[in-house]
Structure 1
């Protein structure tokens, strides 16, 4: 039996361990998969219809929204295909985590930017390990 594109897309969206979050032009969450629920702690019904502010640390929100609004207005992002970004994010319980993510601009049939999909992975443990190693290296050198 062959799987069609729609079935492959559905299974990827529902089953991937990474977070897949789609936000519309206004930054409102429109799609939230199980990976997002696992990483951020918000159930799908808690996240859908809410602003990306629920996962963006307050100190970074102004910068985030400037970039987001510029991308939506111009249709271009400074983060090209394959770029992996690393930023702090928030969990539902208020804990700050480190995530790496890439984005996919979603366009309509005429090519106008309508939404942004972000594929995110929690890299908090790796980030903390690198911090400990750098600190140990500084202490050993110093």
Structure 2
């Protein structure tokens, strides 16, 4: 793969992360946010200045936090996520307090020595799609014959 003349690999990576519309969030092993791109600002409402250094709890609904941290700790112990390579829709919290549905995928991050150093999440707002699909499911369920 070629790079633009004069760009380092790090500069190119940073340009890509700044350009992508999806939220890209990197957190250390303790769950403190270390990277928060413009897409994350758009999806979750927090600026990078507000988010970096904070716990992931700022976007996790309170009633889901225990399950999230249990899963996070298990992923760290395993060194990988159980969800594999796919994404899933989950709930999140916007800065405004509004509940969001986000289509999110996860990965564990390792350094050049192959030591686990954190986690990566890529997300996009799926609230509108989720609500439309839910409405359709309810309409279909209303059409189903009673047993």
Structure-2-length-normalised TM-score = 0.89
Structure 2 runs not aligned, ≥5 long: none
Aligned residue pairs total: 141
Which whole-Å CA distance do the structure 1 matches of 2:53 and 2:92 have between them? 19
| Alignment counterpart, residue 72 of structure 1, candidates 72, 76, 80 | 76
Q: How does 1:27-38 map to 2 (within 5 A)?
A: 27-38=31-42
RMSD over equivalenced CA pairs, Å: 1.5
Structure 2 equivalent of residue 93 of structure 1: 96
Task: Give the conservation status (yes or no) of the 8 Å contact 2:100–2:127.
Answer: yes
| Alignment counterpart, residue 106 of structure 1, candidates 92, 105, 109 | 109
Q: How does 1:56-67 map to 2 (within 5 A)?
A: 56-67=60-71
Structure 1 equivalent of residue 46 of structure 2: 42
Which whole-Å CA distance do the structure 1 matches of 2:125 and 2:13 have between them? 22
1:32 shift after superposition: 0.2
1:73 shift after superposition: 2.6
Structure 1 runs not aligned, ≥5 long: none
| Higher Cα radius of gyration | 2
Structure 1 residues 136, 71: closer, same or farther in 2, change over 3 A? Answer: same
Which whole-Å CA distance do the structure 2 matches of 1:95 and 1:134 have between them? 23
